């Protein structure tokens, strides 16, 4: 019964309508895993010689995700301060993603690449929400699409509560989750 209710909520919630990149797209799909390791603490973007975005990595807690995207490009990092969160992302794209600008809860911004093509933007849909992870598509020389998953950060458990929770067996992977509703919006822009 719990599985049925979870399925119904996923299928009919507003978050479900935008779970994948918009339009058919091209290239290989990726989803940056690592949410279970902690909140996003850093972003590493790989920028090619022409200024287009070639790849991306996210740092969850103290751990960097694998790099996703095309090979090459110069790595540029943006590290978040204690308690700071990503609350908005905007950029521009043609056949590839050319520009990404990340905005934090403290108003700091980091810009990568150069503006070219159609502009896009995405932001946390509700106060208190933040960027949880990203996904997208890439082909042999650039990122061709990107999407963002927004939601509430998991609440930190006390040591005693986490010890008790780890001893309790559970057959439901979502049981005990404190994740709020998520919003995921993908962008893929084709050459005009």
Picking from 55-59, 91-95, 163-167, which range would have the lowest pLDDT averaged per residue? 163-167
Question: Could you list the residue range(s) of the whole structural domain that residue 79 is in?
Answer: 19-187
Residue 1: inside a domain, yes or no?
Answer: no
Q: What is the CATH number of the domain that holds 123?
A: 2.100.10.30
Number of domains in the chain: 1
In a domain, residue 4? The reply is no
In a domain, 5, yes or no: no
pTM: 0.71
Structural domain includes residue 9: no
3-state secondary structure the chain: CHHHHHHHHHHHCHHHHHCCCCCCCCCEEEECCCHHHCCEEEEEEEECCCCCEEEEEEEECCEECCCEECCCCEEEEEECCCCCCEEEEEEEECCCEEEEEEEECCCCEEEEECCCCEEEEEECCCCCCEEEEEEEEEECCEEEEEEEEEECCCCCCCHHHHHHHHHCCCCCCCCCCCCCCCEEEEECCCCC
In a domain, 143, yes or no: yes
Q: Kindly report, residue by residue over 11-32, the tens digit of the pLDDT.
A: 333 332 233 453 345 899 999 9
Residue 84 lies in a domain: yes
Is residue 152 over pLDDT 90?
yes
Label residue 104 by pLDDT band (50, 70, 90): very high
Inside any domain, residue 151: yes
14 located within any domain? no
Q: Is the pLDDT of residue 95 over 60?
A: yes
């Amino acid at each position: 019964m719990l599985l049925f209710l979870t399925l119904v909520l996923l299928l009919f919630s507003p978050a479900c309508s935008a779970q994948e990149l918009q339009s058919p797209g091209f290239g290989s799909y990726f989803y940056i895993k690592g949410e279970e390791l902690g909140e996003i603490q850093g972003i590493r973007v790989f920028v090619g010689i022409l200024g287009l975005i070639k790849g991306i990595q996210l740092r969850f807690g103290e751990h960097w995700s694998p790099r996703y995207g095309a090979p090459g490009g110069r790595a540029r990092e943006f590290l978040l301060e204690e308690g700071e969160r990503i609350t908005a992302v905007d950029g521009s794209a043609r056949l590839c993603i050319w520009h990404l600008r990340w905005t934090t809860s403290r108003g700091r911004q980091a810009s990568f690449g150069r503006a070219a093509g159609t502009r896009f933007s995405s932001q946390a849909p509700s106060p208190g929400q933040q960027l949880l992870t990203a996904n997208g598509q890439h082909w042999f020389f650039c990122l061709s699409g990107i999407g963002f998953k927004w939601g509430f950060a998991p609440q930190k458990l006390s040591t005693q509560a986490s010890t008790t929770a780890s001893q309790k067996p559970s057959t439901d992977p979502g049981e005990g989750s404190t994740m709020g509703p998520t919003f995921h919006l993908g962008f893929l822009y084709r050459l005009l």
